[in-house]
Structure 1
Amino acid sequence: MSKIKSNKPRFNPWFLYGTIILVIIGFNFFSNSSGFGSSKTISISKFYDFLDKGDVEKVLFSRTSAKIYLTEAAQKATEDNKKSNNIIGQMSERGPEYLVDIANPELFEKKLEEARAEGKIKEYTPEKDSNWSDIFFSFLPLIIIIGFWLFMMRRMTGGAGGGGGGQIFSIGKSKAKLFDEKNDVKITFQDVAGLEGAKEEIVEIVEFLKNPEKYTSIGGKIPKGALLVGPPGTGKTLLAKAVAGEARVPFFSLSGSDFVEMFVGVGASRVRDLFKQAKEKSPAIIFIDEIDAIGRARGKSNFSGSNDERENTLNQLLTEMDGFGTNTNVIVLAATNRAEILDSALMRAGRFDRQIYVDLPDVRERKQIFEVHLRKIKKVDNLDIDFLAKQTPGFSGADIANVCNEAALTAARKDKKQVDKQDFLDAVDRIVGGLEKKNKIISPEEKYAIAIHEAGHATVSWLTEHASPLVKVTIVPRGISLGAAWYLPTERQIVRTEQMLDEMCATMGGRAAEKVVFDKISTGALSDLEKVTKQAKAMVTVYGLNDKLGNITYYDSSGQSEYNFSKPYSEETAKLIDKEISQMIEGQYQRAIQILTENKDKLIKLADLLCEKEVIFKEDLETIFGKRPFDKEIIEDTTEISPDNTAQ
């Protein structure tokens, strides 16, 4: 049964704080207004002086202390007289003028009896030692402190909603959210477009839980865990949500950071509690998102030498997944985009039997993802989804969702009732290149320099065989860039040396054009230099594409090299690597200068056209250069928009 929502107002802790403050203020006010707070403690000899002079009117005493009331004449004569008014401006009830500590009660009472016989005092009255109001007010500050501490601890542990009735020890309870037949989870496998291979393995796990006899009848065992690995935004968490919607078994969902707490031992306690709950409801599925928060390799980056709480949590997780007393009816799903830093003991078979790689979608899968996200968008009838899929290679599922949403916002901004093709193109431009800055002030000289720079990129890419085909060139500022060239690079599974060199040459075309036309260079090629430096370094140190260094790589796929303070090569090798990287970049720079020098008139003509129109397309380049001789028929999944930005 679902919980009935209460209409009672939520408790505000500030009411409690205000009440505590008012009680303390009221206690001090009334104690002072009664005259007790202004009473002065005197010595016993001083009291006997008052008694001998006949200045004492009344004495109230116990076995340890006495309250002294003076006569009216003595009150006027003493300098310690203090009168207090109550809240309506009238004189409050009179309190004792002095307090006296009694060491010998029998002697004190004898002195009072003698004074009354001599007529020096009118009355004296013994009091009970125990006064419940005094006892209560004396312990009131301690009671308030204890109550406030208990209240704060209850708030820290989640209140009554936490396990164990909101008590302090419920902090070790699991924070996993449970999805079962009582919860309405609307996401199913139909909402997960693409990811066919990953979805096939996940569906098999769900099917095993629904119909285990199908597999156990021939000796198969249920997998203990499956690890979803892939770049951010590819749909790992969405796939887990679909499992929660499809499975007819309890599904516990939480993040890796939910095990992390400021108290020692809490992470391991929560792991134990999580698996205890799952075993009680078995067969069940546990999903841990961003497991790298607790699954990082042990013994790394722990320079303090102290015990690491995260390692204790990981050790407990390893034991629960595959150790003594484990239950095979609990399956663990986990997701991460940093599988290389996970502990090897966590990755082995028997804990995560399957590692499912969730890759970026291809053109066919992008079309399916567009169809899912376009269901809720009012679009024109003739919208070409195939075209949208071709224009967004390299985009993840989250990126495509963002494109659809941005296109809808763009159409609404233009007061359109339906989203059309141009809105999607504008959305892609905005996401990749940034917001268009139409009001940015650029001088004519800078505008022409930017046009020469972008025309240089376009010219070199047009005249080199393996460079990416051009889509359009713009000098309209977007984001931090002053201009951009948009390409449709081929989606390759492997890349050859000449292909990477042609890409580097086209990237250096902007700076080379400035050198050819102005015989000067500027800071506008910052992003270009960063790009080619990374490409050259990867060719030399990662892919082994350099003749001088040979077939060797310094790339560590395990990710453990990030903890090393030393380079994996000698100083002489480091000098050789720097030299080869520099020569490779300079060689392509000189090649770009040669190409642009041979086509300088066309370069200037293209720059002039760019200054006039601000945005030019592939057809404009065909008018100036003719048909690109290297163009081939582009198949469906070989296009991608890749802007080349000119940094400010």
Structure 2
Amino acid sequence: MSADHDAVDEDGLVDNDFPDGEPVPEAPRAVDPARIVARLAVQCALAEQGVDADALVGVVVIEVPSPDWVSPVSMAWRDIAKVPTKRTSSSRTGDIEVRPGEWMVFDADGSGSRHRPKYENEQVAESLWQGQSVLGVSHAPDRLLPADLLRAADLRLVLMPLNAEDLMGVAQSVTSSTTDLTLAVEVCAAVSPVVLRLARRSGQSAEDFLRRAEAIVARATSRASRPTPTLDDLPGMDAAVAWGHDLARDLAAYGAGRLSWADIDRGCLLAGPPGTGKTTFARALAATCGVPLVVGSYSMWQASRDGHLGDLLKAMAATFDEARKAAPSILFIDELDSFYSRTADSRHRDWWASVVGALLEHLDGVGGREGVVVVGATNHPEMVDPAITRSGRLDRIIAVPLPDQRALAGILRVHLGDDLAGVDLTRAALLALGGTGADCERWARGARRRARKAGRPMTLDDLLAEIRGAGQMSPVGARRIAAVHEAGHALMQVLEQPGTLQHVSIREDDQSGGHTAVDTPSGDVTEAWLSMHLRRFLAGRAAEEVVLGQVTGGSGGPIHSDLGRATWLAANAETAMGMSARPLLWLGLWNERDLATLLMNRPDLARRVETRLNAAYEEVCRRLREHRPALDSLEAGLLEREVLTGTEVEAIVLTERKA
């Protein structure tokens, strides 16, 4: 059967014909439960106000419980008004034929990206003076319906959820069977027309129909029951949380008329690695401030329609317009590093000039931005067009770092909820060092799955297994190589800069088989500073040679590998930092793409870089041999515990020194 042969009649019924036009013998007629429940809800609202449905004319506004009700109610209206209706959709004035006696229907569920108030207001006026009646349907009519429609309204109805008796009647109408099943009040309140469509099955009984609706509501309620986080639920984001609390107080004062909009921060830029909770912060900020959250991004706007420049700019404008209508509000713009600097790519300079220019106009509030706080997010702040972060725009940049052990324990507790209540998560947080908030959520979800599969409550071992990535762990030999490598990095860090090692781990992730986290203070770029950093970078490879008698490729790879960073630093010391005695020239700061070509074409420079690297490597090998007992103890500790804190590493080194 082709879709071309399906027709919906005025009762919400589907007529089924064979492709050749012959009718199906005694074909069942499918009743649309959404249209039935919508019609019943409207009739109840009319009866509540004592309005005769047969006498309906003029302008009617219907406020529905949720967006799911909008389309079914507008479809059911012609059953109630008993005259033809036309939906405006996205038509402009003059595109719709106006026929006196008909109803012009404006419905808005908030999903459209092309709200055009000018044309809609003109359509309302044209429909009325030519003898049409007008209906507006929305879950948020004051925000989404044309202003002139609201001003001209003769009747305003608020639809209430149906009760258990009403839903029993709907079930009987849909299934042609009876039932005594009575749904709970809270379930009835959550039943929408869409839920009833999803609950419909061929040949089912009225009881089965209601049971399915009840189950759908239960699943949706379970997902929605998780409370929206507030700023107090975000451990490890101290700077961002402090700013957010200040903003919440200011917005409260602004709403009460005690503070001018000019005295409120207009936004900020969150900068940090992926998975550190920037999007979660935006949700928590809106919840704490008690204002709506509107979300946009370059990829979202670029995906609008055909992705042409005009479509992108219209979608961007629509998002800002939505935020203005909801003001005071939080507008969260993700992926701000997608807005490349207009000088970075000459091939597409015109495109980016238009895109970034439009964004700057919206940020400046040329069209009015009072009450809209813009929060941007980026993984790479250095790639964001500098004009976006100038004063008056997103001029406050807040770093969102990887969480420390204390923060990881708090984040795990948030995502675990009631699971592992009362269990000390210190061990899990230590093992999780280097992970993000998103990782914590994934680990908690995986731990629940393990416990569910085993048919028992969750245990700490379930969580630890998820953090370790059990089942994907490297063989024993590979783990020992990782332990030796990271022990070398950790030992040299403690020897070179005591107090700067945060932790060292051989927990595997998508990036590597281990990592060493440091908090290295900035300092003057001297020969001593340069040599120290070269030794730090090369310590992992040197430890492999000292302990294992051979080296692996773990120090090599892309530019951010140990050898890559060491080579980059040594080369730029010679070409850009003034560390070369001959020639005393500035030859430029070289990037990953051009550095290899430079060294291959300049053998004299390559020899000077190699000399620096060899000197640093020989020195780090000497120092690791000198502290071999500490190196062996660190290796053993990592193999046993997988993660060691900086304090633990320093204690091990101090003990070996005293021995």
TM-score bucket (shorter structure): 0.5 to 0.7
The partner residue of 1:173 within 111, 114, 117 is 114
Q: Distance in 1 between matches of 2:615 and 2:270?
A: 42
1:573 shift after superposition: 10
Pair 1:462–1:630, CA change in 2 (3 A): farther
Q: Distance in 2 between matches of 1:455 and 1:288?
A: 41
1:594 shift after superposition: 5.8
Find the counterpart in structure 1 of residue 288 from structure 2. Answer: 246
Mean CA deviation greater in 357-366 or 544-553: 544-553
Confirm whether residue 436 of structure 1 aligns to residue 466 of structure 2: no
Pair 1:333–1:589, CA change in 2 (3 A): closer
The partner residue of 1:539 within 566, 569, 589 is 569
1:435 shift after superposition: 0.5
- 8 Å Cα contact 1:191/1:372 also seen in 2: yes
Q: Distance in 2 between matches of 1:265 and 1:500?
A: 50
- The DSSP-based 3-state class of the residue aligned with 2:331 is strand
Equivalent runs, 1:249-328 vs 2, <5 Å:
249-260=291-302, 261=304, 262=306, 263-293=308-338, 295-303=339-347, 307-308=350-351, 311-322=353-364, 324-328=366-370
- 8 Å Cα contact 2:297/2:334 also seen in 1: yes
1:241 shift after superposition: 0.6
Find the counterpart in structure 1 of residue 270 from structure 2. Answer: 228
Equivalent runs, 1:146-545 vs 2, <5 Å:
165-167=89-91, 173=114, 186-212=228-254, 221-260=263-302, 261=304, 262=306, 263-293=308-338, 295-303=339-347, 307-308=350-351, 311-322=353-364, 324-378=366-420, 381=422, 383-409=423-449, 417-420=457-460, 422-430=461-469, 435-436=472-473, 457=485, 466=495, 491-494=519-522, 500-509=533-542, 512-513=545-546, 516=549, 531-540=561-570
Q: Distance in 2 between matches of 1:589 and 1:200?
A: 44
1:598 shift after superposition: 8.6
Find the counterpart in structure 1 of residue 3 from structure 2. Answer: 15
- The DSSP-based 3-state class of the residue aligned with 2:273 is coil
- The DSSP-based 3-state class of the residue aligned with 1:212 is helix
Confirm whether residue 578 of structure 1 aligns to residue 606 of structure 2: yes
- The DSSP-based 3-state class of the residue aligned with 2:291 is coil
Q: Distance in 1 between matches of 2:611 and 2:276?
A: 38
1:265 shift after superposition: 0.9
- Specify the code of the residue in structure 2 equivalent to 1:506: A
- 8 Å Cα contact 1:458/1:470 also seen in 2: no
- 8 Å Cα contact 1:373/1:401 also seen in 2: yes
- Specify the code of the residue in structure 2 equivalent to 1:303: R
Q: Distance in 2 between matches of 1:336 and 1:577?
A: 36
Decide which structure has the larger Cα Rg and report it: 1
1:198 shift after superposition: 0.7
- The DSSP-based 3-state class of the residue aligned with 1:331 is strand
- The DSSP-based 3-state class of the residue aligned with 1:288 is strand
Deviations 1:264-297 (A, max 9, x none): 411222233333343344333322222333x322
Find the counterpart in structure 2 of residue 622 from structure 1. Answer: none
Q: Distance in 1 between matches of 2:490 and 2:367?
A: 66
Pair 1:463–1:213, CA change in 2 (3 A): closer
- The DSSP-based 3-state class of the residue aligned with 2:251 is helix
- 8 Å Cα contact 2:504/2:517 also seen in 1: no
Pair 1:568–1:631, CA change in 2 (3 A): same
- The DSSP-based 3-state class of the residue aligned with 2:495 is coil
- Specify the code of the residue in structure 2 equivalent to 1:292: D
Find the counterpart in structure 2 of residue 548 from structure 1. Answer: 580
Q: Distance in 1 between matches of 2:502 and 2:271?
A: 32
Higher relative contact order (CA 8 A, sep 6+): 1
CA-atom RMSD, angstroms?
A: 5.7
- Specify the code of the residue in structure 2 equivalent to 1:427: E
- 8 Å Cα contact 1:508/1:528 also seen in 2: no
Deviations 1:169-193 (A, max 9, x none): 9986279xx9999998733223222
Q: Distance in 2 between matches of 1:272 and 1:584?
A: 54
- The DSSP-based 3-state class of the residue aligned with 1:417 is coil
Gaps of 5+ in 1: 1-12, 30-157, 620-626, 634-648
Deviations 1:52-71 (A, max 9, x none): xxxxxxxxxxxxxxxxxxxx
- Specify the code of the residue in structure 1 equivalent to 2:114: K
- 8 Å Cα contact 2:558/2:564 also seen in 1: no
- 8 Å Cα contact 2:230/2:288 also seen in 1: yes
- 8 Å Cα contact 2:295/2:331 also seen in 1: yes
Deviations 1:97-123 (A, max 9, x none): xxxxxxxxxxxxxxxxxxxxxxxxxxx
Find the counterpart in structure 2 of residue 50 from structure 1. Answer: none
Determine what percentage of the aligned residue pairs are the same residue: 20
- Specify the code of the residue in structure 2 equivalent to 1:222: I
Q: Distance in 1 between matches of 2:430 and 2:577?
A: 31
- 8 Å Cα contact 1:252/1:287 also seen in 2: yes
Deviations 1:364-395 (A, max 9, x none): 3333223322324236x4x4333433443333
- 8 Å Cα contact 1:174/1:270 also seen in 2: no
Gaps of 5+ in 2: 8-15, 23-70, 76-86, 96-110, 117-138, 144-189, 191-223, 524-528, 644-650
Find the counterpart in structure 2 of residue 147 from structure 1. Answer: none
Pair 1:548–1:528, CA change in 2 (3 A): same
* TM-score, with length taken from structure 2: 0.52
1:505 shift after superposition: 4.6
- 8 Å Cα contact 2:327/2:370 also seen in 1: no
- The DSSP-based 3-state class of the residue aligned with 1:582 is helix
- 8 Å Cα contact 1:255/1:290 also seen in 2: yes
1:338 shift after superposition: 2.3
- Specify the code of the residue in structure 2 equivalent to 1:173: R
